[in-house]
Amino acid sequence: MKRFEGNPILTSVASHPWESRRIFNAAILHNGNRVHMLYRAMGDDAISRLGYATTQDGYHIDWRSHNPVFVPATDVEKDGCEDPRLTLLDDKLYMCYTALSVVDNQDKYQISLTSISVDDLVRRRWTWGERQLPFPGIRNKDGVIFPKRIDGKVVMFHRLEPDICAAYSADFQHWYDVRSVMPTRTKSWDCWKVGAAGTPIELNEGWLFIYHGVSYEKVYRLGVALLDRYNPEIIRWRADQPILEPVEEYEKFGKVPNVVFSCGNALIDDRVIVYYGAADSVLCVATYDLSELLPKK
């Protein structure tokens, strides 16, 4: 594992009111020779919006938007669109994110789902599809769609505290068979809560699944598991130790200390590039050889 020596790769911009305070967790699309990122940004009003940036080599940002490309549009997300995760499926990009509204000083959040064509994203035409609530009124987050139908069904992982759960759909409208697939582990770094990180990666061995785990001390770390290729509810292997934990200054100190949190990754050759928000303040990168993330033979 190697943290990029140029971390953080993306930081806030004081002259952009919508992203003047902090930028962090980013959805990733790697299409051929470019990595596209939609990142969570917060400005003076503390509302999360999404910004867009690209990098050709995966590490050095070569373009970023002046304006947010996705902003709250309805009452249920009036206080923020957080933690996007992108999936290419059936030739369309689907984006799950957390819709936040604060009511009587209480955070109400739920998963929201929208879509955009690859062409529109790449050409920076922000013509998003309808926003839907797959589980209206249900307090869940960390939604991510698998990049392939399984048994003809669309598969989503999401988090109903404290476990990672599955849900299925035929049409992206109705979701059913919600059940826990990955619980927390007692006496472990992932004892309090777990949630998906970026989009699962399909390998011959199964689905490579990176997730975050939270300890009782509220330290956010990343872990890895291998899920059955034909039934991702079956966990074939789950690493005992985290694959990333807060060590560097930029991970230990910031708006929310001791956090590494990922919403996206890219498999380039045999390397997995993990994009992660550090201390809920900046966006960073860590790179792994694929073999490091798989069970030892």
* List of residues contacting ligand BMA (CB under 6 A): 25, 82-83, 220, 256, 259, 261, 277, 280
Q: Are 25 and 83 in contact (CB under 8 A)?
A: yes
* Tokens coding 53: 């940036």
3-state secondary structure 64-120: ECCCCCECCCCHHHCCEEEEEEEEEECCEEEEEEEEEEEECCEEEEEEEEEEECHHH
**CA torsion, points 227, 229, 234, 240, in degrees to nearest 10?**
-20
C-alpha R_g of the chain: 18
* Distance in Å, CB of 16 to ligand BMA, minimum: 20
Do β-strands 80-89 and 61-64 pair in parallel, antiparallel, or remain unpaired? unpaired
Three-state secondary structure call for residue 2? strand
220: part of which helix (H) or strand (E)? strand 220-227
Shortest distance (Å) from residue 255 CB to ligand BMA: 8
By beta-carbon distance, which residue lies closest to ligand BMA? 261
Asked whether the beta carbons of 28 and 265 are under 8 A apart, the reply is yes
Q: Least distance in Å: CB of 230 to ligand BMA? A: 31
Which of 206/223 has CB closer to ligand BMA?
A: 223
Q: How far is the CB of 256 from ligand BMA (least distance, A)?
A: 4
Nearest approach, Cβ of 44 to ligand BMA (angstroms)?
19
In whole angstroms, the minimum distance from the beta carbon of 86 to ligand BMA comes to: 16
Of 19 and 280, nearer to ligand BMA (C-beta) is 280
Residue with tokens 């989009």: 199
Between 223 and 277, whose beta carbon lies closer to ligand BMA? Answer: 277
CA distance 257 to 251: 7
Residue closer to ligand BMA, measured from CB, 23 or 167: 23
Question: Which of 264, 296, 295 is CA-nearest to residue 10?
Answer: 264
257 near 269, Cβ under 8 Å? no
Minimum distance between the CB of residue 270 and ligand BMA, rounded to whole angstroms? 28
In angstroms, what is the minimal distance from the CB of 262 to ligand BMA?
9
Q: Which is nearer to ligand BMA, 42 or 224 (CB)?
A: 42
Which residue lies nearer to ligand BMA by CB, 111 or 226? 111
- 285 and 58 Cβ atoms separated by less than 8 Å: yes
Nearer to ligand BMA by Cβ, of 9 and 154: the residue is: 9
Nearer to ligand BMA, 243 or 259 (CB): 259
